[in-house]
């Protein structure tokens, strides 16, 4: 089969690999029909995530058709169209039994600090991902769902991570009616978090970024008030000025490890790998939210330490909430919202790239060329 | 506004927002949201029909965190550790996730793995190609200049560093090959003279 393969920082190619075999009785093999590149894939691409091995296939956002099932699979059969959450999870451990699917204890031997994620380094379990023609899907009776007949493929693939994560990020903000919500980052997760904040009754939604085309999308897609942080000497002071000097009630970090806005933070994390991530957006969130407010962290960070302004969070009495999104827990509600037209995730798709050209896809997304917001990957066999 | 007990007045009321934004307030009740409460015990919800999953066969020794009691019943089988980087990774897994050395050794192993793989690729029919593998030609095909010129982009300050990181391993590899060949040539010349 053809599959994207990591060759080292900033380098990937498409190679011929063996079709993955059934390795466990509850495995399924899925023929991928559509995949996506996630902003967090760029952390792997840039060599930031520890234990990212040459030869691995990335990709944790994908949908497809069941090609083969293991002997204990009861809920799926060959030919079923399925969407697969980015979390690999068993459904039966202490954490899964409590709905914390992203924190499953039975799928990641390499680390206890994170659950299993498709195509996301050995730190997340060493599973090959879906930027390929075929992918192994463990716990087929637990993770995947049939794609509803009425749902578009492009909406379905964005439900496997980006939309679910943005919606989850808004939930972690504990938004109540009339709250002022500021979202740092106008990428896919930030756009979906901003849009979701309205569903939860926000009274004002502000989005901060430095890419004007993404801020334009935040205005049109997410109905948000926007600010370009490069136009302000100090974005934190600006945030205070526009919130009567109290700060926002809720701040959402939808940027994560590769945040821009501070050269030294970026250099020491993205380029020199001395931090788990550049916490510029997180620090701005901490400083922009009001005392007693809530910071929701949806941007992904690596497992190493980062220079976070913890003292400010302590002294302000903030609630810090975060987790990888337990995707499947969000789906029933999100299916309703998509069907009712409140959310149309595919509106943010800007690029559709054949698998054979995936290196260009990563480059365009990474360098933010061509007004790229969300690139999809179309495998040949799909 | 003076610092009083009042919450600042919003520009739009809830009714105005409901009229303007499709779906405004459909998840208004904080208790009626999918991830509330954070932990909701329901072992029958997931579809799992086991108390503990069957174990995936361990076809080769699988590295694991020492914070786990045992190898998890299911695990990924991509890219087993190999060579010098593999030895480094195995050593890293003797240290807990709480130790910075665990992660730093893994990051160092990633760099060794990448460099070694680039060098090995030159001995194959499919050597690494920095042009196609970096996707850099997208600069021409996808408006590299227009995407940057005249834009207030914060990332322009560090983007010039990216080519150095991307091309660096090739420069190192080229240097290693050059020094190796030079040494080999010198040894052959010396042997011929003797």
Mean pLDDT of chain A: 97
Instruction: Give mean pLDDT, residues A78-85.
Output: 98
Helix (H/G/I), strand (E/B), else coil: B6: coil
Q: Which residues of A touch B2 (CB under 8 A)?
A: none
Please report the sign of the dihedral spanned by the C-alpha atoms of residue B35, residue A129, residue A31, residue A364.
positive
A106-126 burial: b if 16+ Cβ within 10 Å, else e: bbbbbbbebbbbbbbbbbbbb
Residue A382 predicted with pLDDT over 80: no
pLDDT at B160: 85
Q: Which residue has the tokens 């009691």?
A: B69
How far from A271 is each of A41, A112, A179, B50, CA to CA, in Å? 16, 26, 37, 45
Please report the sign of the dihedral spanned by the C-alpha atoms of residue B70, residue B75, residue B76, residue B77.
positive
- Calculate how close chain B gets to A382, using CA atoms only, in Å: 22
pLDDT at A381: 52
Task: Provide the token pair at A106.
Answer: 């039975």
Distance between CA A348 and CA A216 in Å, rounded?
Answer: 12
Task: Provide the token pair at A204.
Answer: 């004002």
Q: Which residues of B touch A361 (CB under 8 A)?
A: 135
3-state secondary structure A69-97: ECCCCCCCCCCCEEEECCEECCCCCCCHH
Residue A98 predicted with pLDDT over 80: yes
Q: Which residue from A196, A205, A143 is spatially nearest to A168, judged by alpha carbons?
A: A196
Right CATH number for A166-322 from 3.40.50.2300, 3.40.1050.10, 3.40.50.720, 2.160.10.10?
Answer: 3.40.50.720
pLDDT at B169: 66
The correct answer on CATH 3.90.1150.200 for the domain covering A2-161+326-378 is no
Q: Count the neighbouring beta carbons within 10 Å of the beta carbon of residue A129.
A: 29
Residues making up chain A, counted from first to last:
382
Q: For residue range A335-374, what is the model confidence (pLDDT) as tens digits?
A: 999 999 999 999 999 999 999 999 999 999 999 999 999 9
Burial of A94 by CB count in 10 Å (0-12 exposed, 13-18 middle, 19+ buried)?
Answer: middle
- Calculate how close chain A gets to B131, using CA atoms only, in Å: 9
The ipTM value here is: 0.95
Q: Which residues of B touch A102 (CB under 8 A)?
A: none
- Domain locations in chain A? 2-161+326-378, 166-322
How far from A224 is each of A119, A343, B115, CA to CA, in Å? 33, 15, 45
Nearest CA in chain B to A231: B152
- Element holding B17 (H helix, E strand): helix B14-20
pLDDT at A144: 98
The count of CB pairs under 8 A between chains A and B is 320
Q: For residue range A233-279, what is the model confidence (pLDDT) as tens digits?
A: 999 999 999 999 999 999 999 999 999 999 999 999 988 888 999 99
Does A198 sit within 8 Å of B21, measured CB to CB? yes
Residue A89 predicted with pLDDT over 80: yes
Same fold, A2-161+326-378 and A166-322: no
A317 CB within 8 Å of a chain B CB? no
pLDDT less than 50: residues of chain B: none
Q: Which residues of B touch A368 (CB under 8 A)?
A: 147, 153, 155
Distance between CA B38 and CA B35 in Å, rounded?
Answer: 5
Q: For residue range A161-190, what is the model confidence (pLDDT) as tens digits?
A: 999 999 999 999 999 999 999 999 999 999
Phi/psi class of residue A261: alpha, beta or left (left: φ > 0; alpha: ψ in -120 to 50)?
A: left
């Amino acid at each position: 089969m053809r599959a994207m393969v990591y060759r080292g920082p900033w380098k990937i190619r498409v190679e011929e690999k063996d079709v993955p075999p059934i390795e466990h009785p509850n495995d399924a093999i899925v023929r991928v029909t559509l995949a996506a590149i996630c902003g967090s894939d760029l952390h792997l691409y840039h060599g930031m995530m520890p234990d990212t091995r040459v030869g691995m296939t990335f990709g944790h956002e994908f949908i497809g058709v069941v090609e083969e099932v293991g002997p204990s699979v009861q809920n799926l059969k060959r030919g079923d169209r399925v969407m697969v959450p980015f979390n690999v999870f068993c459904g039966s451990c202490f954490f899964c039994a409590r709905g914390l699917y992203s924190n499953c204890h039975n799928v990641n031997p390499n680390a206890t600090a994170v659950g299993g994620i498709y195509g996301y380094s050995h730190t997340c379990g060493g599973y090959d991902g879906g930027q390929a023609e075929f992918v192994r899907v463990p716990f087929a009776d637990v993770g995947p769902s049939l794609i509803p007949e009425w749902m578009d493929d492009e909406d379905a693939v964005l439900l496997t991570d980006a939309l679910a994560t943005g919606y989850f990020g808004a939930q972690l903000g504990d938004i109540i009616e009339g709250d002022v919500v500021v979202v740092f980052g106008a990428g896919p997760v930030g756009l979906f978090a901003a849009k979701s904040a309205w569903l939860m009754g926000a009274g004002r939604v502000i989005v901060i970024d430095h890419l004007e085309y993404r801020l334009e999308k935040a205005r049109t897609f997410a109905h948000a008030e926007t600010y370009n942080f490069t136009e302000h000497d100090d974005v934190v002071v600006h945030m205070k000025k526009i919130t009567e000097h109290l700060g926002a009630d809720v701040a959402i970090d939808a940027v994560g490890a590769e945040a821009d806005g501070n050269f030294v933070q970026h250099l020491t994390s993205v380029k020199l790998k001395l931090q788990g991530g550049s916490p510029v957006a997180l620090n701005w969130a901490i400083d922009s939210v009001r005392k007693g407010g809530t910071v929701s962290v949806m941007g992904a960070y690596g497992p190493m330490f980062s220079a976070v302004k913890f003292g400010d969070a302590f002294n302000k009495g903030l609630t810090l909430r975060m987790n990888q999104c337990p995707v499947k827990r969000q789906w029933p509600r999100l299916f309703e919202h998509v069907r009712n037209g409140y959310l149309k995730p595919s509106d943010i798709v800007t690029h559709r790239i054949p698998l054979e050209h995936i290196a260009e896809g990563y480059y365009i997304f990474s360098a933010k060329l061509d007004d790229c917001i969300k690139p999809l990957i179309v495998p040949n066999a799909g | 506004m003076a610092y009083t007990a009042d919450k600042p007045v919003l520009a739009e009321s809830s009714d105005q927002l409901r009229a303007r934004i499709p779906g405004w307030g459909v998840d208004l009740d904080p208790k009626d949201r999918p991830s509330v409460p954070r932990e909701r015990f329901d072992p029958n919800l997931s579809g799992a029909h086991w108390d503990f999953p069957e174990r995936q066969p361990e076809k080769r020794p699988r590295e694991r965190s020492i914070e786990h009691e045992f190898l998890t019943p299911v695990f990924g089988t991509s890219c087993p550790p190999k060579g010098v980087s593999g030895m480094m990774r195995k050593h890293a897994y003797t240290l807990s996730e709480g130790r910075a050395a665990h992660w730093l050794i893994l990051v160092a192993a990633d760099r060794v793995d990448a460099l070694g793989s680039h060098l090995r690729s030159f001995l194959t029919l499919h050597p690494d190609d920095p042009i196609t593998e970096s996707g850099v030609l997208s600069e021409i095909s996808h408006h590299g200049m227009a995407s940057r010129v005249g834009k207030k982009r914060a990332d322009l300050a560090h983007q010039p560093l990216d080519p150095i990181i991307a091309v660096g391993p090739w420069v190192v590899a080229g240097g290693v090959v050059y020094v190796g060949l030079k040494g080999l040539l010198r040894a052959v010349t010396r042997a011929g003279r003797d």
